[in-house]
Structure 1
């Protein structure tokens, strides 16, 4: 994962325009196609072999699957459509007040003063409020205004792939016939079973799907590993050791998610106004405000 991130950053720095034209559609397409693939496989192949298709549990599984896909793709779209650039500020807030001017810094690319924690993105070609990083899977920069959607997008991506793995585990446990199609069965019974391993087409498919599922779960899990400390400590991807803005978990959560806080988990359409516009940041030091 680290090698991929470093490699993408290296290419993006050298060929920003070409990188955006290539990486964005490929990455977004991967998420959409992958979501459709795993939803179809789970709900039409795996889950029917666990639950009765006419029963309550199967219908409940469909409701959970639809809820996860809705929030995954909904937050992904909302993240893309929400502008976190300095230009999204009202005109009067794009220029610092005289008493705040010394707290802002100059962007050599935009040739203008920008608020603290705002940095230029070469791929977006603008400065981003509290810039965290540029995400190719949402085709936009993650900053102050759209961090909420990116975080829940990552959470639902993790939950969805984890539940898909859980269905494989449940199928392995409850369905003795399907259990013999998993390579794991032969590995765990290596010293008991004798004779050659017999694999049919179903065995090939079920094991390939499991391998894809493991890889699909690993990526969002790594993303979550970066984002949880960011949320907990009020830092960014590129400034993980800057703890000046940490105001405690509850206050940090409100800063990122807005006035509705944890309720934003339910749907990307829930209105949750942010407590400030991303130009003023309080630090731990008393009576000091970074503007």
Structure 2
């Protein structure tokens, strides 16, 4: 019994430290990158206090609002079975979770990191410090989408900005792009720092772009990450791209892209999964 309690405490400590580390990176990296773009890059490539300057400032504010808003909503939206009334449902296709010691609905899986079963669990998001499930799937998708858009948007200006400071140096600048972190340690200066930030810009853009495309493709097919292995053309939860979109983004799916504060009611409850009428509109 004591060993079990000790394992639980160690697991909770590991989970806390892991989440704290990644959340700290996210909360430090986003403001730092924003400061670099707004206070250093933008005044260099656009005339300060001009109409273009304020237009880009407005775009940056819009992107930041959506990135941080979707992140916060994604982190604090409960998508677990905790606190939900699971009685009164047909439990023919429910499975037993040996860890939670309870029956769980279809498409719900236990997360070893969160240590609880998640409704319509897609995957565990380290940067959210929780799982992506039925009620916060929308926020994860828009979080990755807007980070990708922000990286693409800033890349153009970053290249123009860095080109002002770069010198060829017989091709040594290529080494700084290939090994940006090492170049900061060996030859710390404005050029090395700016090259490092551009490389980070590209890597984050590629990573979030891949995440968004991969998961958006799953949404269009009505599947989750755990379901990709056994996915077939006649997958029972595939209701067509539009209903699949509504299942994740809600009835106002076409407006949720504007702001995380827009209310868009989901068609179900994450517990029941009727599959008899695929043509029914919510």
Same fold by TM-score, threshold 0.5 exceeded? yes
Report the equivalent of 2:26: 31
Structure 2 distance, partners of 1:80, 1:104, is 27
More off after superposition, 130-139 vs 209-218: 209-218
Distance 1:265 1:280, change over 3 A: same
- With over 3 angstroms needed to count, the CA separation of the structure-2 counterparts of 1:88 and 1:56, relative to structure 1, is farther
What stretches of structure 1 of length at least 5 have no aligned partner? 1-14, 188-198
Contact 1:234-1:245 within 8 A present in 2 as well: yes
Maintained 8 Å contact 2:250/2:266? yes
- Most deviating of 246-255 and 231-240: 231-240
Which residue in the other structure is 1:159 paired with?
149
> How far 1:286 sits from its partner (Å)?
5.8
2:41 is the counterpart of 1:46: yes
Among candidates 50, 62, 66, match of residue 57 of structure 2:
62
Report the 3-state secondary structure (helix = DSSP H, G, I; strand = E; otherwise coil) of the residue aligned with 1:102.
Answer: coil
Aligned to 1:8: none
Task: State the 1:260 CA deviation.
Answer: 1.0
Q: C-alpha displacement at 1:95, in angstroms?
A: 2.1
Mapped partners of 2:69, 2:256: distance in 1: 12
**Structure 1 residue 185: Cα displacement:** 11
**CA offset digits 1:253-281 (Å, max 9, x no partner):** 00101111121111111111111101122
Measured after TM superposition, the shift of residue 84 of structure 1 is 0.5
The aligned counterpart of 1:6 is none
Q: Partner of 1:214 in structure 2?
A: 202
**How far apart in 1 are the matches of 2:45 and 2:188?**
20
In 2: Cα distance, 1:206 partner to 1:219 partner: 20
Structure 1 residue 272 and structure 2 residue 260: aligned? no
- Structure 1 residues 50, 102: CA separation in 2 closer, same or farther (over 3 Å shift)? same
Q: Is this contact kept in 1: 2:159–2:198, CA < 8 A? A: no
Instruction: Give the corresponding residue for 1:203.
Output: 191
Runs (4+) of structure 1 exceeding 3 A deviation are 169-172, 177-187
Contact 1:38 1:164 in 2 (8 A): no
Alignment size in residue pairs: 253
Query: Given that residues 105 and 116 in structure 1 are in contact (C-alpha distance below 8 angstroms), is that contact kept between their aligned partners in structure 2?
Result: yes
Deviation string 1:149-198 (CA, Å, 9 cap, x unpaired) is 111111111111221212123446xx7x44648999966xxxxxxxxxxx
Equivalence for 2:71: 76
Shift of 1:244: 2.6
Tell me the distance in 2 between the aligned counterparts of 1:96 and 1:122.
27
Structure 1 residues 127, 24: closer, same or farther in 2, change over 3 A?
Answer: same
Cα shift at 1:69: 0.9
Structure 2 unaligned spans of 5+: 1-9, 175-186
Q: Is 1:223 matched up with 2:211?
A: yes
Q: Which moved more, 1:259-268 or 1:163-172?
A: 163-172
Aligned-partner Cα distance in 1 for 2:24–2:152: 21
Secondary structure of residue in 1 paired with 2:14: helix
Provide the rounded CA distance (Å) in 1 between the counterparts of 2:78 and 2:41.
39
1:101-132 Cα shifts (integer Å, max 9, x gaps): 21211111111111100111122221111001
**Greater CA drift, 29-38 or 17-26:** 17-26
**Aligned match for 2:227, one of 230, 239, 243:** 239
TM-score under structure 2 normalisation? Answer: 0.82
Report the CA distance shift for 1:184/1:59 in structure 2 as closer, same or farther (over 3 A).
farther
What is the root-mean-square deviation of aligned Cα atoms in Å?
A: 2.5
Partner of 2:254: 262
